[in-house]
Amino acid sequence: MPASQPLPRYVVITPVRDESAHLPTTIASMRAQTVAPALWVIIDDGSGDDTRQIANDAAGESPWIRVVSRDDRGYRAAGIGVVTAFYDGLEAVNTEWDFLVKLDGDVVLEPDYFERCLGRFAANTRLGVGGGVFHNPMPDGTWKEERAPRFHVRGGTKIYRRACWNEIGGLIRMTGWDSFDEIKANRLGWQTESFSDIVVRHQRTTGDAAGQWDNWVKNGRANFIVGYDPVFLVVRAVSRLTRKPRLTSAGGLLVGYFGSWAKREPRVDDRETIRYLRQQQRRKLTGRPTIGG
């Protein structure tokens, strides 16, 4: 960041449920940031373990940490539960901000993570959503990058520029919120980017909290809700057969998508963005340039 420019103010919102094994490490990495947040709101989403106490202890030691507690609904609600808890945390934000961050409670960040990410936003005024690239732990102790299109920022580390946040109207309160935000932002002329050289260490493989089958069914359902083209969805499912977990991911996507179609689940009410998404997907299928390159 240029020394002549004032540091941007960012606030972080972290919904957590039963994260006592991972949250302390996330807290430690947040405390080590070279550019500290103006506020970090941790939302305990009805945990049955020591998550709430860990968060409260952290808030007692750091005045920029605030805890919001929600009642236990009795189960983990991946997707919709996260965004509902996120908005409860947003209501607790009472300070000005330039950037809004959705951060998971099971990640580890390098000390200069936010300094470097905010530097990317400073260098590109059309960058609306950004974040680091997830690396997942492997059984042999190494870390493996989680493959995703460059324009897709993982839901566990979303950084939104305020102008972009306002223009997209925030997050949809539906499963699929973490892809629809980028689609709409791109349709409105914003750029979205995962920074390939800025690493986020995920303390467990994506999907492990809910189980891999349930996670892929959820992904298929999310793809239906945000308006994926059915042909593109089928091609995506077939392509998953080349990557582990092969049958789980391919089958889960198909069951989630077409199961939602059979049940006539409601889709997001934004025809222009769905039309834009399907145009991009058809361009991808025919080998033409898209937002994903």
Rounded to whole angstroms, how far apart are CA atoms 128 and 146?
A: 22
Which residue in this structure is represented by tokens 């500290």? 36
Give the start-to-end residue ranges of the domains of the chain. Answer: 10-202, 212-285
Helices (H), the chain: 23-31, 51-61, 80-91, 113-123, 162-168, 177-187, 212-225, 230-239, 246-263, 271-285
| Residue 5 pLDDT greater than 90, yes or no | no
**pLDDT digit string, tens, across residues 24-35:** 999 999 999 999
Q: How is domain 10-202 classified at the CATH fold level?
A: Spore Coat Polysaccharide Biosynthesis Protein SpsA; Chain A (3.90.550)
Rounded to whole angstroms, how far apart are CA atoms 39 and 31?
A: 12
CB 14 within 8 A of CB 42: yes
pLDDT of residue 78: 65
CB atoms within 10 A of CB 194: 21
Q: What percent of the chain has pLDDT over 90?
A: 86
Rounded to whole angstroms, how far apart are CA atoms 129 and 151?
A: 9
How far is the CA of 44 from the CAs of 105, 109, 159, 272, in angstroms? 10, 21, 21, 35
CB 38 within 8 A of CB 92: no
- 195 versus 81: the higher-pLDDT residue is 195
**pLDDT digit string, tens, across residues 218-257:** 999 999 999 999 999 999 999 999 988 899 999 999 999 9
pLDDT of residue 73: 74
**pLDDT digit string, tens, across residues 175-231:** 999 999 999 999 999 999 999 999 999 997 765 665 889 999 999 999 999 999 999
pLDDT of residue 293: 60
| Residue 44 pLDDT greater than 90, yes or no | yes
The pLDDT of 59-67, averaged and rounded, is 97
Chain mean pLDDT for the chain: 93
| Residue 77 pLDDT greater than 70, yes or no | no
The pLDDT of 274-282, averaged and rounded, is 97
Q: Phi and psi for 197 in degrees, rounded to 5?
A: -100, 5
54-61's contacts with Cβ under 8 Å and 24+ in sequence apart are 54/20, 54/23, 54/24, 54/27, 55/16, 55/23, 58/27
Tokens of 67: 């805890």
| Cis previous bond, 266, omega within 30 | no
